[in-house]
Amino acid sequence: MDIKALPIVTLRELRMEDVEDRYRWSLDKEVTKHLNLPDTYPPFTKEETAKWIEMCINKTNGYEQKAIITEDGTHIGWVDLKNIDTFNKHAELGIAIGDRNHWGKGYGQSAMMAMLEYGFTTLALNKIWLRVEVDNEQAIKSYQRTGYVDEGILRQDRYRDGEYVDRLRMSILKHEFENILKEMGLAERG
């Protein structure tokens, strides 16, 4: 997908009414397959989901987590920055499109672009990195299209379904992101 043709999304602060969507998505094993969640079903109770969202809203868990909203106002997932290192100016990105009707249509990539802009401008980061399971080929391709580059393999980095799986560490630097914006004709916006 051409990065210039991405669907428009808005990132907004989480709200307590997001609990219903988030809990419903946690029940979908296809949605949660590549997420780092407890090895139970369901991975969270509705009460635990509400407590997590409350911590995100109050910023007491170290996450800058935002809801992903489509142009027509539909809440389809979340994106966040965590492990924020203000001294070294980097953070880890996490993302999930919980509404499978919106998979493969560029919404995740669009949300990542918005979160990268937030991280590089508002939080003044220099690098945003992520970890992705090596068998999550669709996500890896999306990250590469967004400008992420491979940093290396994290061997047996996640315990999933009774076995350890490798994860790929990828990152994008502020100047690389700025170059992407220039190529898109958006120049620096921050």
Can you give the residue ranges of every domain in the chain?
3-130
Fold of 3-130: Aminopeptidase (3.40.630)
Question: Residue 84 is encoded by which pair of tokens?
Answer: 């924020």
pLDDT by position in tens, the chain (length 190): 466 688 999 999 999 999 999 999 998 888 888 887 777 788 889 999 999 999 999 999 999 999 999 999 999 999 999 999 999 999 999 999 999 999 999 999 999 999 999 999 999 999 999 999 999 999 999 999 999 999 999 999 999 888 999 999 999 999 999 999 988 776 544 4
Q: Give the residue ranges of DSSP H helices in the chain.
A: 19-26, 29-32, 46-58, 107-117, 137-146, 174-183
Spatial CA neighbour of 131 closest among 87, 95, 100, 178:
95
Spatial CA neighbour of 98 closest among 162, 176, 18, 163:
18
